Amino acid sequence: MDNNQNQYPYDQWTDMTDTRTSDQLKQYISQYITKVYGWMFLALTLTAVSGYYVSSSEVLLNFIVGNRIGFWVVLIGQLFLVGYLSARIHRMSVQTATILFFVYALLNGLVFGILFLVYTPASLLTVFGITAGTFGVMSAVGYFTKQDLTGFGQLMFFGLIGLIIASVVNYFVQSETLYWILSYVGVAVFVGLIAYDTQKIKAYALLNNEEDRKKGAILGALALYLDFINLFIYLLRLFGSRK
């Protein structure tokens, strides 16, 4: 979920544009976004390693899969952590925000370990490749487009809210038709959010305060991480092969 919609709006450009040439500005933004991608992929690696370890640990599997309380503790802990990080990051130090980001990625791996047991390794790799390719294309769209995607991003955010509500309803209804509809809608929503969140990072790069720029990098990495993870899950529902 994109949890930082209102932290640093897209049009919050700063006086940095007055002190840099166009080429210097482009180079600075490119370097900044590269660092954000680095944080994101580091978090994805941590989630994957954590998930693989869980899938091979009988103790952890029993805690998460064999114990309903354990599963809900991990799930609620994840939701609380990502919500707290997004809402309170402006009051944290950069070091604290960074630690919480990677703790969240680690906790996410506890749940992701289940995927290693449900889906074949080949389908996991295939869907990961599709997700990475789609992510790359939509990131490029968000980076290079000259159109302000704020309105589009808000539309995707409302779509995300509807997706969450419908998913909760289907948890109780157990409609197979609705399951497949939500899978396609989920792909569309997160594909759109990738472009929007990428463009938003360009605004983070131009904040006046260095501390805010560093926190913006963490928020940007978190947003892209969530986009990637959720897109992967919905694509897995569509194309994954179960064991």
pLDDT tens digit sequence for 27-81 = 888 889 999 999 999 999 999 999 888 888 888 777 777 666 766 777 777 778 8
Residues 113 and 50 sit within 8 Å (Cβ to Cβ): yes
**Whether pLDDT at 195 is above 90:** yes
Tokens of 95: 């070091």
**What pLDDT band is residue 203 in, cutting at 50, 70 and 90?**
confident
Of 100, 119, 97, give the one whose Cα is nearest residue 108.
100
**What pLDDT band is residue 11 in, cutting at 50, 70 and 90?**
very low
How far out from the chain centre does Cα 30 lie?
Answer: 20
| Angstrom distance (rounded) from CA 181 to CA 173 | 14
The confidence score (pLDDT) of residue 14 equals 42
pTM (two decimals): 0.84
